[in-house]
Amino acid sequence: MSSIKNLLYLFCLFASVAGAQMQRNYLVHKRGMLHQAVYNTGELGKAYEPSNPSTIPGIPSFEWPGNFASGASQNFVTIVDGQQYSGHHNSYGGGLQIGTDRAGSLTRLYAYCGGLNDVTVVEGQQSFPLSQVRIENYPVLADGSLNPAYNPNEAEEIIIAKWATPVGLTVTRTSRAWSFPDYDDFIIYEYEFENTGDMKPPAPPTPARLTDLIINFSYGITGGKFGYERVSNSWANTVIEPNLNARWDRQRWLQYGLHRTGNPEPKYFGEWATTGKNGGGLLSPQAPGYMALYYDTQHLVRRGDGTRVIISGADTISWDVNGRIKQPYSLIIETQVMTTTKILRDIIDITQGRKYGCNTELSTFGPDWIGRATFNWRQSVPQAIGRDFAFGPYNLAPGEKIHITMAEVCGYGAARLEETNAGVKDIGGSNGNSTIGASESGDSLYAFYTVPNYWVPKKQNELNRNSVNTVLYGSDYLSKYSLPDYVNSNVVTVREVVDRAIQAYTNEPLVNHNTVQFWPEQYREHGVYTLPIPVPAPAIDVENTVLGENRITWGAQVESFSSPRLQGTLDHYELARATQSIGPWTTLARIPKRDPAYFIDGKYQFLDKNTRIGDNFYYSVVSVDNKGNKSGRTNVIMHQASIGAESALRKVFVAPNPFIVKSGYAGISTEGDINAQLRFYNLPRKCTIRIYSLAGQLVQTIEHDVDQNVHAYFQLTRNNQLIASGLYFFVVDSPDGARANGKFVIIN
């Protein structure tokens, strides 16, 4: 109870004055491997624009693995063969939509809070942002000391957003993320929908009864932006990609997407697969999805209570033993086009009914799924981008609340070899609009497909328009190569990730839900979150020496960390280095606890002598306990090997000059390769570098604010485009008014 009170106190402390509207804004979940931008208007990730799939650096859209290229700094840009890539984003955008009748209104009311490509969410129109706060419940503070306020019964990263809607509902979304390696591939979202009557802040609320309330969660799930850009030259073209499958795992209440073969890199497959560079040789192994962990049943409409709900399918089987309408209300795959017209027609306009109705066939889903929403499996390839997951209808009196909990999940593929061999299947994989087989809700040979793995491919028959083809599913990639470093535990596939998310929310023992059905309605409206806790990673520092070497240091504070669910005691540290933030990581040292060779004057110290001036490296220290459990890489820090900053601004020069771009230099990543950088030398601690074209146009502005006399420049303009060949001028200004200038040449 105390943790809830503390959260409420912090929420109130940071929230705006009651009823006051904020501007649309976002915060970012970045603690785990799954990164996501969450908005105080209801949106998740980028705005839903399939025809314009660009992402903005620093604003991840369901990015897994995170840190590939989502930093706001230029240093996170990845360039291959002269083309820039922005990361492993897996969603065109997400959000929720609401439809309801309201006492006193003659028309049905709607709110569109993201996830549609014909509605731009603007504060004061479809959503009225009220507050947003980020709570960092980290066990270790930035200075390396233990956090005395750390709550082991809460997530490490919590973002609470609150917004009002034009229908009188106020939505509070509490999202949670962890760094623990077994639990860092999902984000859990607890939604609270309260009938406040707050329809247009700061106008006074006008409470009224809401009836036939439907809430739909929508996503554009694609799986692997970097992969599709490398193979197809466009992320937008995934809508017609015949190998992108939309799938439904009913055992886990999971909608997910999967590339049938994992999308091997077309040019550097062997090199990347062997070295792990740029994430490895399979570029779209991601199986991203979202699932339901809980939904309210007490406020669902009851049979005979005057609801306007139209039951598509047999009315007699659509109600449970308590007379409530069975859930989910709707479960739809759409094309890339997610419009208000479709959402109204198919889901939230109750007068038009549900597009695909409910399951009526015992042999398709089993007896427990009779009367629940069916899944339109015949449209699961191609263009199966849009995903809808709806609950309701609900009746809600003024002051009443309903709760729904969803989770974003992502894994490296969807099944292991032994699962495929055992015949694990889920629904989806057919190629749209076929006349073969039975109806959407009926039994069919082609409704269920074996789930592919990345160890041994498997052939199976697939429905393809009006014919049946034999198609190869999966890959032999993992029979030849290792899993990439960003798969940092034995939790690999999306199924395993989902099972950990269920365990985290329900506080029940871990269950493999391949054969055990998960029922969200059987659990609590709030998660319990008593996860097993590893020894946390220490905070680290990296500094330059007078010889241009890198010294990594950290304290011993984590050795005294304690928690009721601590998995073990610290045994040793693993210090690693990488040239990319997602790895591959090279272990520099395995350092036993208090080893006198490294533990000096109360601090651990390691000197990395294998550096060159100007090189960028990422360093990380992982804690390992006496049972082999590891912490997350929560202390990744990028450092450029350098000599300390100059005492004052004098002569500044650029090297190499001229800069000759090496043609055919395969897979250059500007995160660390010195051959991809120009470097400004002799810089003071703080200065501003401005680069101009020969015509006098400002090309780029660089703020230098580190204790280094060198700063790397990655050949990018202010619009994140590679600069062209030619002569460029630079001007360097320091805060004390000193100025230096010069010129350099780029030759492509």
Q: Give pLDDT tens digits for 646-664.
A: 889 999 999 888 988 653 3
Q: Which residues pair with 616 in a beta bridge?
A: 640
pLDDT computed for residue 445 by the predictor? 60
pLDDT digits (tens, 9 = 90+) for 566-615: 999 999 999 999 988 888 999 999 999 999 999 999 999 999 999 877 77
pLDDT at 438 over 70: no
Query: Position 455: which residue type?
Result: W
Q: Which of 608, 640, 672 is the last residue of a domain?
A: 640
Percent of the chain surpassing pLDDT 90: 61
Domain of 623, CATH number, reads 2.60.40.10
Please give the distance of CA 48 from its chain centroid, rounded to a whole number: 15
pLDDT tens digits, one per residue of 156-171:
999 999 999 999 999 9
Question: Same domain for 69 and 104?
Answer: yes
Domain annotation covers residue 434: yes
**Between residues 638 and 19, which one has the greater pLDDT?**
638
pLDDT band of residue 9 (cuts 50, 70, 90) is very low
For residue 342, the cross-strand partners are none
Residue where a domain terminates, one of 461, 489, 505: 505
268 found inside a domain = yes
What pLDDT digit, counting tens, does each position of 364-390 carry?
A: 677 888 999 988 877 788 778 889 999
Q: Report whether 538 contacts 511 (CB < 8 A).
A: no
- Which pLDDT does position 1 carry in this prediction? 36
In this structure, are 724 and 660 located in the same domain?
yes
Q: Rounded CA gap, 281 and 269, in Å?
A: 5
Write out the DSSP string of 442-497.
S--TTSEEEPP-SSS-EEEEEEETTEEEEEEES-SHHHHSPPPTTS-SS--SHHHH
Residue 474: pLDDT band with limits 50, 70, 90: very high
Residues 503 and 513: their CA atoms lie apart, in Å, by: 11
**Alpha-carbon distances of 519 from 74, 415, 658, rounded to whole Å:** 45, 21, 65
Three-state secondary structure call for residue 521: helix
Region 198-222: mean pLDDT is 94
Q: What is the pLDDT of residue 72?
A: 36
Distance CA 218, CA 212 (A): 19
pLDDT category at 35 given cuts 50, 70, 90 is: very high
- Is there a single domain that holds both residue 628 and residue 713? no
In a domain, 727, yes or no: yes
- Is 530 inside any structural domain? no
Q: Is the pLDDT of residue 299 over 60?
A: yes
Q: Tell whether 21 is covered by a domain.
A: yes
Cα gap 154→169, rounded to integer Å: 27
Where are any strands of DSSP class E within 296-422? 330-334, 386-396, 401-412
Quick one: how many helices (H) and strands (E) in the chain? 8, 37
Count of domains observed in the chain: 3
- Average pLDDT of the chain? 87
92/232 same-domain check: yes
Q: Both tokens of residue 84? A: 């820039």
Boundaries of domain holding 575: 540-640
Give yes or no: residues 24 and 164 share one domain. Answer: yes
Complete DSSP assignment for 283-331: S--EEEEEEEEEE--TTB-BTTS------SS-GGGSB-TTSBBPS-SEE
Higher pLDDT, 519 or 547: 519
pLDDT of 378 reads 77
- Separation CA 247–CA 249 (nearest Å): 7
Cβ contact 741:730 at 8 Å: yes
* Residue 80 falls inside a structural domain: yes
Three-state SS at 504: helix
**In 3-state terms, what secondary structure has residue 253?**
coil
Kindly state whether residues 84 and 130 are assigned to the same domain: yes
Contact yes or no for 94/45 (Cβ under 8 A): yes
One DSSP character per residue, 61-122 reads SSBSSTTSS--SSGGG-EEETTEEE---B-EEEEEEEEEEEETT-SS-EEEEEE--TT----
Mean pLDDT of 493-512: 97
Beta-bridge mates of residue 586 = 577
Do residues 389 and 347 share a domain? yes
- As beta bridge partners, residue 655 has 679
CATH at residue 670: 2.60.40.4070
195 with 331, same domain?
yes
- Over residues 84-101, the mean pLDDT reads 92
In a domain? residue 594 = yes
**Pair 123, 209 in one domain:** yes
> Does residue 415 or residue 68 have the better pLDDT?
415
Least Cα distance to 67 among 669, 711, 500 occurs for: 669
- Whole-number pLDDT of residue 207: 93
Q: Which of 650, 741, 669, 748 is CA-nearest to residue 712?
A: 669
End-to-end, the C-alpha distance of the chain in Å comes to 63
107-141 residue pLDDT tens: 999 999 999 988 888 777 889 999 999 999 999 99
The predicted pLDDT at position 465 comes to 63
Q: Is-contact 216 330, C-beta < 8 A?
A: yes
User: In whole angstroms, what is the distance from residue 360 CA to residue 431 CA?
Assistant: 23
Q: Residue 667 corresponds to which tokens in the numbers above?
A: 């897979």
Give the range among 306-315, 561-570, 685-694, 722-731 with minimum mean pLDDT. 306-315
Transcribe 162-209 into DSSP letters.
EEE-TTSEEEEEEEEE---TTS-SEEEEEEEEEE----STTSPP----
Paired residues of 460 in beta bridges = 471
Taking 90 as the threshold, does the pLDDT of residue 727 lie above it? yes
CA-CA distance, 213 to 396, in Å (whole number)? 8
CB 242 within 8 A of CB 382: yes
Determine what percent of the chain is predicted with pLDDT higher than 70: 90
- 110 and 50 in a common domain: yes
Of 640, 662, 694, the last residue of a domain is: 640
Domain identity same for 354 and 464: yes
The predicted pLDDT at position 439 comes to 45
Among the listed ranges 267-271, 383-387, 561-565, 729-733, which one has the minimum average pLDDT value? 383-387
189 and 335 both lie in a single domain: yes
525 within domain boundaries:
no
